[in-house]
Each structure stands twice: as structure tokens, then as C-alpha cells.
Chain A
Amino acid sequence: MSRFSFFSTGITFGLLATLLLSACQSPGSGPQGASSGAPADSLSWAQIQQAARGATVEMMMWQGDPQINRFMKRYVKPALQERYGLELKLLPGQGSQITTLLLNEKQAGRRESEIDMMWINGETFYQLQRMDALYGPFLGRLPHARYLDLENPYIGQDFQRPIEGMEAPWGNVQLTVIYDSLRTPQPPKDLAALSTYLKKHPGRFTIPNEFTGMTLLKSWMIGMAPDSALYGAFDEKLYRRYRDSLFTWIQAHRRYFWQEGATFPQRLAGLHRLFAQGEVDFTFSNNDAEVENKIYQNTFPASARAYVYRSGTIKNSHYLGIVRWARDPLASMVVINFLLSPEAQIEKRKPRVWGDGSVLSSRKLPDSARKAMQKAAQRRYAPARDSLTPYARQELAPAYMTRLYEDFQKMIVEGDA
């Protein structure tokens, strides 16, 4: 082979391979998954459980909280092995990473996914629905689904969209502000008070540039708009109006932020650390019980407490979905069913374990379970759930989240300091 033909062969080969592949994959051409449409209607639940024996289910989840990881590794995994003989594998990944992975797989026409199920939230649910990447509807098939509190708008709807059985609610939380009661005896309860606080104590406050931070921004936006103006479908004009009000406030107070607002923590764990080490006075969590379980972990001081702003904070549920072309959707259903069981929900509710709110309706539960749930829900340091309910606000349509994410990065982080 002469050198010319050698290399031109190589390049041509590459070119042809690429063109062939991209030509074959037209948008929307999905793989013929192991199942599509209504799942396993012909099988009884007992049969599904039987089929799941010896299976391996790969679950992609956010692994940023060691407490949650421990719950999954030390409680859920062994329980699944013991009772259903199935192995649960946990993979790190959230939101956009899940979407990118499934997008790639769909484009490539994969028949079986690398993952079976995933822990997702509203905006990912929206993206995956857009891509037709979800298996289902399956929720109705799960025996424990009868305990679900689906009438509750915070559970039956995900970011203003009905879940229609395509994902299963798993837990329920409300955004809270965490502070140290010794250091900050009178934390600011609204933006005006926060404004005063910032001027008096500059450099002690910041917003995390990630999911929780965006939830905080949304909560503030809702507070700025009249009642439920932002609910319902995404409205560009409304979004811009309240985004601008919010960003104006931020820009006006930016120099009183931590690091004079020149940079914002990229990870929630980073903000928690700043708070724990006394560099900032506040941190946030989507989980209202977080302050409690961080105290138990010796990460936060025992004087740490949590509260919500008077204008309200977002309460939302997080969900579990199954990939449409998952290798083992039936076994995934068994896993999800277990996670929805009163027993698993009660365990998860304990502040020492996770403190995540239950998605089960207490009146649908049998007496013993109801009592156990009430006991598990008791807290020492975190605010009582009932006290937070009047301040709960619904999640907004997914586009608010993705737009805020982008605009915060572009206009605040990258914009002028």
C-alpha cells in the first residue's frame, strides 16, 4: 500500500462509517425495546416478582449525599436481595447526565439500556418524556401504589405536569434555609429582611449554582409574583418579568454576598461545608430534614436550625422512572414497588436515616403503619412538617428551571460582577 492510499483508506473508512451511522439515525427512530407501550399487562404481579428473581437492576441516582447513599447501600440493597433475590446496582448520575446518556442510546438505536431505572426530578421527567424514553404507564401495576397520595398536587404532579403513571413518586420535601441559632438568633424571613441582614453582615451569604439554588430562586420568584401567577404552563413574558425583578435584586446586593458575589459554589456539599466551617451564615436544602441528619452526622453544629421564608418555598416530590428500553423493566418495577412500601417509606422518613417525606397517604395506610410513620417522622432539630405546609409552594413548569439555570450562569455568573 502506498502511503497515500493507506491514509486515504483510513479517512474514507471513517467518513463512510460516520455518514452511514448518522444517515441511519433519523430523529425519533427509537429502538425496539424489550417492551413498548403498556407493560406486561398479561402478567400477574406474582409472575412479575418471579421473573425478577436473579435479575440485576441498574439504578442511576444522585450520589451527592453520603446519608442517602448509605440508605440505599445498607438498607435497600440487602432487603431487595433477601426478599426478591434481585441485585440492585447503583450508578452515579443525575438530571442532565441521565438525559444525555439516554439520548445517545436512543440515537444509536440501542435495544437495551445501560441503566434500568433512575431517580429523577421534574425537568428531567419533562426531557425524557419529550424523548419518549420512559417505560410505562407502570405505576398502576404496583401493589403498593394503592397507598400513594396521588390526589395531593405536590405528588400527583411533577413540575406542573401530571405524571400519568409514567414515573413513581418516591419522596417529598420542602426547601428550607439552614442557619446557626447561636450565630444568627434572628434570621431574615423575607427578602427585605435579608437585604438588611446582608448590609449588616457582608460576605456571609451566597446562592449555590445548582439544583437547590435554582429551587431557591424559583421560590423567590413565586414570592415576587401575585399568588399563583407562575403556575401552569411556561410563560415567556411572565418569566422575563420576574426573572428581571429577581436578578435586579441579586445584582443590587451582590457585593454583600460571599466573595463579593464574584463566584458561587458549584456544589451543594461545598456550601454546606462553608456553613459548617463558619464561612457563611446560611445554607439551603431541598430536604427539610437535612439539618437534622447533618447534626446527627456531626457535620453541622447542634445549634443549627431550619426555617422557610414568609413568601414561601417550593415543596416538591422526587420520582423514579424506568427506561423504555431497559434490560429489565419488570425487575425495576419490583424495586420501585419495594421503595414505595410503607416499610421502606417509614425507614426513609427517619431523620437519622434520611428524613425524606413520605409520598403515602396516611389515611390509606393500615393503623400500625400509620403509627410507625408518625413515630419516624418525629424530629428534634428540623422544623415540624405541619409548620411548613402553609408556606409550601408548588413547583413551576420545567422550562422555568432550565431557563433560570442558563440565565443565572450567563447573566449573573458570567456577567459583570
Chain B
Amino acid sequence: MPKRAAAILYLLLAVLPLSAGLLLALLVSLGLAGFLGTGFTLDYWSALLGRWAFWQSLGFSFYIAAVGTLLALVLALFFTIAQRQRLQRRAFHTFLYLPLALPTLVMALYAYYLLSPTGWLSRLSMALGWTSGAADFPRLVQDAGGVAILVVHTLMSTFFFTVYLGQLWPKENLDALLQTGRNLGASFGQLLRRVVLPTLLKRAAPVILLYFVFALGSYEIPLLLGRSHPQMLSVYAMNLLDSYQLETIPQAYGLAALYTLFMALLLFLLSARTRLKKKPV
């Protein structure tokens, strides 16, 4: 493909929609465009940022993304390190890939019917005599702590990290390194801390960050498993768009623009460290 054609294709599909959308969102949020656009105003931004629920939403999203990713990492590391012998076995390898077939919607379905007050765990605990009814069962879905949301994100990230780490292990020759370390008299704990973890984490860092970002902007899972307050960012933005008050629409655009700019900032910082110049997964 000639360079010019490629550049045009790239511009049309990757650059134009995003930049045009971002610019329009900014303009609408500042009152310079759109049905409610009566001229430059910071009213919509102050309405957006002045509401405590927005900051709670922000905090909640970061909490879910950070805790979920961290837990997933811990689990994945545990699974990989503890079962490093099995990594070569083909059946095990296939087994690791199985849950990658599960999309967010199916995981949300699973989490809901497992964890809700009338879900399977609740019925099981009633049958075992631990709880006496739906109201007795601890609130895991649509609760303040976002437990079900956290569970789903943790699981999904674990599934992926485990596979990824499982591939990294032979690539980084960790078996050989471990063996060498052993021969030199180091204990397993020392090797873990000095060799295994730093190597794995350093190499997996971009992917871990990627999953953190995906979790941050998650939409379907909090939509199905979350409650009206606090909401994760994407849900919050869509609620602003769909509310009964037309005046919140520019706020929705503002939030979308803010989120997009945050992504841009993140990318900028990361590319400054030349990490992203490397080939992707």
C-alpha cells in the first residue's frame, strides 16, 4: 500500500473520529456548540466538578481498577509460580486459555446469579442453615463496596494475567535462572524476590497498566452489578447523558472529554518513557 493511501486510511479511521469527537465534546461542554450552547460558559464544568458524586465516582473507579488489578496480579503470580512445573504440559496450557472465552456480559451474568441475595450462594447457605432468607445474606451485588464488580474485574484480569505470565515464564528463561540461583545456594524466597518478581513485573508492566485502564473505564459490569451511587465513570457519564434534565448533557460531554484527555496524558507520559515504542502483545 502506498504511503499516502495508508496515511489517509489511518487519518480517517484512527485520527479524525477521535479528534473531531473530542473537540466537539469540549466545545459543547463550554457552551460553544450544541442546542444549549448560548455562548462561552463554565457553568457546565462547575456543575460537573462541583458535585460530590462525581468525585466519589472517580474515587470508586480508581478503587475498583487498582484493587482489582492488584488482586488479579497477586493471584496470577501465585498460580504461575506455584505451578511453574505444569506450564509445559499441553493440557494445562489449554486449560489456562479457557476462561478467555468469557466476555464481560457473561461474567456479569455469572456474578449476579452467584452472588445476589437470591443467587446460588445464598440458596446454598440457606440450605446449610447459615442464613435464614434473602435479606440475611450479605450484600455482594449492588452494594456500597462494589464487591461483585470487584470480583468480576479481579477474575477477568486474573484469567488474562495468568496466561500472559505463563507465556513470559519460558520467554524469560526463568526456569534456568532459578536453577542457576539454586546452584549458587540461594533460597527460593530470595530468588523469588530478587529474580522472579522483578523480571515478571517489569516485563508485564505495560499490560498491567493496560488492564488497569480498561477496568477504570468499565461500563457493562457496573451497569449490571452496581448501584445508583457510587457509579463508575462510564456509567456516570451515560447517566448524565440520559437524565431528565437537558442541562446535564453538556456535562456528559465534558466528562467524556476529560476522560479522553486523561488517556492522552497517560499515553504522553508513557511514551515519554519510550515504553510504548515496543511492539504490543
A residues at B contact (CB < 8 Å): 1, 6-7, 9-11, 13-15, 17-19, 21-22, 25, 27, 95-97, 99-100, 103, 106-107, 123, 127, 131, 203, 209, 259, 262-264, 266, 273, 277-279, 401-402, 405-406, 409-410, 413-414
CB within 8 A of A209: which of B19, B32, B228?
B228
B105 interfacial by beta-carbon distance below 8 Å: no
| Chain B residue with Cβ nearest A106 | B35
B37 interfacial by beta-carbon distance below 8 Å: yes
B281 interfacial by beta-carbon distance below 8 Å: no
B33 interfacial by beta-carbon distance below 8 Å: yes
Given contacts A22-B34, A27-B38, A266-B228, contact A96 B53 (CB under 8 A): no
Are B37 and A27 touching (Cβ within 8 A)? yes
Are B53 and A414 touching (Cβ within 8 A)? yes
Docked CA distance A414–B246 (Å): 20
Q: Which chain B positions have C-beta within 8 A of A259?
A: 139
Are B33 and A22 touching (Cβ within 8 A)? yes
Whole-angstrom distance from the CB of B172 to the nearest CB of chain A?
34
| Interface 9-mer from B152-160, B162-170, B236-244 | B236-244
Are B37 and A17 touching (Cβ within 8 A)? no
One digit per residue, 1 when the CB lies within 8 angstroms of any chain A CB and 0 when it does not, for chain B 1-36 equals 001100100010001100110111001100011111
- Chain B, 124-144, CB within 8 A of any chain A CB: 133-135, 139, 142-144
Are A22 and B24 touching (Cβ within 8 A)? yes
Are A15 and B118 touching (Cβ within 8 A)? no
B68 interfacial by beta-carbon distance below 8 Å: no
Docked CA distance A274–B66 (Å): 32
Are A263 and B36 touching (Cβ within 8 A)? no
| Chain A residue with Cβ nearest B19 | A14
| Total A-B pairs, Cβ < 8 A | 107
Given contacts A22-B34, A22-B37, contact A100 B241 (CB under 8 A): yes
Q: Which chain A positions have C-beta within 8 A of B52?
A: 414
Whole-angstrom distance from the CB of A91 to the nearest CB of chain B?
15
Given contacts A264-B228, A266-B228, A278-B133, contact A13 B246 (CB under 8 A): no
Q: Which chain A positions have C-beta within 8 A of B32?
A: 22
Given contacts A10-B15, A100-B241, contact A277 B118 (CB under 8 A): yes
| Chain B residue with Cβ nearest A6 | B7
Q: Which chain B positions have C-beta within 8 A of A123?
A: 244
CB within 8 A of B244: which of A263, A401, A410?
A401
B254 interfacial by beta-carbon distance below 8 Å: no
Interface of A is mostly: helix
Q: Which chain B positions have C-beta within 8 A of A21?
A: 24, 33
Given contacts A1-B4, A22-B27, contact A263 B15 (CB under 8 A): no
Are A18 and B35 touching (Cβ within 8 A)? no
* CB-defined A-B contacts under 8 Å, sample of 24: A10-B16, A11-B15, A13-B16, A18-B23, A18-B27, A22-B34, A27-B35, A97-B242, A100-B249, A103-B246, A106-B35, A107-B34, A131-B35, A203-B135, A263-B143, A263-B229, A264-B228, A279-B118, A279-B133, A406-B245, A409-B229, A413-B228, A414-B52, A414-B56
Given contacts A27-B35, A96-B243, A209-B228, contact A262 B144 (CB under 8 A): yes
Q: A14-B16, A17-B16 are in contact. List 19 more A-B contacts (CB 8 A).
A: A1-B4, A10-B15, A11-B19, A13-B16, A14-B22, A14-B23, A17-B20, A18-B23, A18-B33, A22-B32, A27-B37, A95-B244, A97-B242, A103-B249, A107-B35, A279-B135, A410-B53, A413-B229, A414-B53
Are B228 and A263 touching (Cβ within 8 A)? yes
| Chain B residue with Cβ nearest A27 | B35
Docked CA distance A7–B16 (Å): 10
B227 interfacial by beta-carbon distance below 8 Å: yes
Q: Which chain B positions have C-beta within 8 A of A409?
A: 228-229
Whole-angstrom distance from the CB of A289 to the nearest CB of chain B?
26
Docked CA distance A17–B17 (Å): 10
Whole-angstrom distance from the CB of A40 to the nearest CB of chain B?
28
Q: Which chain B positions have C-beta within 8 A of A9?
A: 11
Are A96 and B242 touching (Cβ within 8 A)? yes
Are B229 and A414 touching (Cβ within 8 A)? yes
Docked CA distance A6–B33 (Å): 27
Whole-angstrom distance from the CB of A395 to the nearest CB of chain B?
15
One digit per residue, 1 when the CB lies within 8 angstroms of any chain A CB and 0 when it does not, for chain B 92-115 equals 000000000000000000000000
In order of increasing CB-CB distance, the 5 nearest A-B pairs are: A22-B33, A14-B19, A10-B15, A14-B20, A18-B23
Docked CA distance A114–B176 (Å): 63
Whole-angstrom distance from the CB of A359 to the nearest CB of chain B?
24
Q: Which chain B positions have C-beta within 8 A of A15?
A: 19, 23
